[in-house]
Amino acid sequence: MRSQLVVERFLGANFVDEPDESAFEDFCVELNQLYDVELESEPYTNLIRHTIRKHAAMLSFLIDANTTVVYPSFYRPRWEVKSGYKEAVRRGANLYETEVFNMLFQFHGGRFRGDGIALMCHGPNGFQDEWILLCPDDTEMRIQAESNKYREIALAMTFRAQMNSDLQSELLENLSALLPAKRCANSLMHEYGHVLQYRLWESEGIQVRDFAALYRWFLERGYAQNVSARIPKFADYPDETKLRFLKEAFVEDYRIGLNVEKNGGIFELPNAYCFRGDFEDPSLMAEGVEIVKQAVKKKTSSFRGSYGQANEPDRVLLTDQIMANSSDFSTRNPRMTTEDHQAVLDRLHAKSKLQPV
C-alpha cells in the first residue's frame, strides 16, 4: 500500500531540476521493493540523481551548470531492461564490455543530451568509460507510434508500386515482432554499434571531430556511396548532416546485421535513416549491412584518447524529416557521382582547416 502511495507521489510530481531529495530516497527504496523479486544480480545499474553516491563522479560528469534535469512520469521497468540486455547480448552485442545504465531522469542543455531514447558516451576516462544510458521511455507507446509510421509509409509506397507486396508483408512481420524488451534490445545494439564505431576510428587514428577524415573513411569503404542511394536527396543535406546520417546509418546497419544473423532474419525495425530506399530496393540494405560487417570485423582492442557521444534518434520525427524530401525519389534516380563525393570531402577539408579539430 505504502509502495503505491510513494510511486503515485513520484509520478504526480513531474519535477524540473533539484527535486526534494528525501522524496527520491523514499522512491529508490520503494522501487526496489516493487521490482526486486529475483535475487540474481543485475547486469545494469538504475541511476537516480542524488541517491546513488558511488555514481557521484559520473553524475557530475554528465550534469554541468547548464544542464536541466527532469524527472518524467515514466521510466523503463526492470523486466524490460533486464530482458532487453540479455537479448542484445544473445544477438551479439558485447554489452559486458561497457557499462549500461537505466536512467530514471532525463537531462538536457549541458554537454550531453539524455532526453531521447538512449545515449552512448565516453566518461572522463575516455575509452575506459564506455557508457550506454537508456533514457526513461514509454516503450509500448513508442513501438505503437513507430509501427504506425512505417506501416503508413509502406502502404502508400505499395499503392504507388514503389514497394512490392512481399516486402510489405515482411516489414509487417518485422514490426509485429516488436515487444518492449526487444525494442530495448534494439536500442542497446544501436548504442553498442556506436561503441564499436568509436573504437574503429580510434584504432585507425581518426579524430571524431575531423569531419573530412571521417567522410573519407566512409567513402573508402563504399558506405557513403551506398547510403547516398538510400536516403532521399542525400546530396542536398548540409555536409555535416550527411556525416551524421552516415554515422547513424552505420550503427543501424550494424544492428540489422546482428538481428539478421542471430534472430532468424527478423530485424524488427528498418534502418532509421535509410528505410525509404530500403523499402524500394532491399538489396541496398543488404549491401550496407555487408559493408558494416566487414568494417567492424577489423576492430582492434587498443583504445585510448578521443571522446564521443551519440544519441539514438526519434524515429517518428526522423521519418517525417526523411519523407519530406521523398516525393520524386527513387533508388533508380541518378546517384551521387565520385566527383560529388569528392566535392563534399573538399568542402569538409576546407572547413576543418578553418576550425581546429
Strand bridging mode 309-311 / 118-123:
antiparallel
- The minimum distance between CB 291 and Zn ion, in angstroms, equals 17
- The minimum distance between CB 262 and Zn ion, in angstroms, equals 20
Residue nearest to Zn ion (CB): 310
- The minimum distance between CB 319 and Zn ion, in angstroms, equals 15
Q: Which of the ranges 48-56, 69-77, 243-251, 326-334 carries the binding residues for Zn ion, by CB under 5 A?
A: 243-251
Nearest alpha-carbon partner for 157 in 277, 269, 252? 277
Q: Which is nearer to Zn ion, 195 or 310 (CB)?
A: 310
Examine residue 47 and tell whether it contacts Zn ion (CB under 5 A): no
CB within 8 A of 277, min separation 6: which ones?
229, 230, 231, 232, 284, 285, 329, 331
Give the whole-angstrom CA distance, residue 164 versus residue 264.
22
- The minimum distance between CB 5 and Zn ion, in angstroms, equals 39
Considering only residues 245 through 284, tell me which ones interact with Zn ion, judged by CB under 5 A: 248
Examine residue 310 and tell whether it contacts Zn ion (CB under 5 A): yes
Size of the residue set binding Zn ion (CB under 5 A):
3
HSE (CB half, 13 Å, CA atoms) of 91?
30
Examine residue 243 and tell whether it contacts Zn ion (CB under 5 A): no
Q: Is 204 left (phi over 0), alpha (psi -120 to 50) or beta?
A: alpha
Strand bridging mode 126-134 / 118-123:
antiparallel
Cell of residue 97, nine digits: 564490455
Tell me, rounded to whole angstroms, the distance of Cα 161 from its chain centroid.
Answer: 31
- The minimum distance between CB 211 and Zn ion, in angstroms, equals 17
- The minimum distance between CB 312 and Zn ion, in angstroms, equals 5
Q: Which is nearer to Zn ion, 78 or 182 (CB)?
A: 182
Give, rounded to a whole angstrom, the gap between the first and last alpha carbons of the chain. Answer: 56
Q: Which is nearer to Zn ion, 227 or 310 (CB)?
A: 310
CB within 8 A of 339, min separation 6: which ones?
none
Considering only residues 54 through 113, tell me which ones interact with Zn ion, judged by CB under 5 A: none
- Alpha-carbon distances, residue 319 vs 176, 272, 275 (angstroms): 19, 7, 8
Q: Which of the ranges 17-25, 82-90, 225-233, 306-314 carries the binding residues for Zn ion, by CB under 5 A?
A: 306-314
Give me the DSSP letters along 233-277: TGGGS-HHHHHHHHHHHHHHHHHHHHHHHHTTT--SS--TTTHHH
Q: Which of the ranges 59-67, 271-279, 289-297, 307-315 carries the binding residues for Zn ion, by CB under 5 A?
A: 307-315
Q: Which of the ranges 56-64, 68-76, 242-250, 269-277 carries the binding residues for Zn ion, by CB under 5 A?
A: 242-250
Q: Which is nearer to Zn ion, 15 or 307 (CB)?
A: 307
- The minimum distance between CB 139 and Zn ion, in angstroms, equals 17
- The minimum distance between CB 314 and Zn ion, in angstroms, equals 11
Q: Which residues bind Zn ion (CB under 5 A)?
A: 248, 310, 312
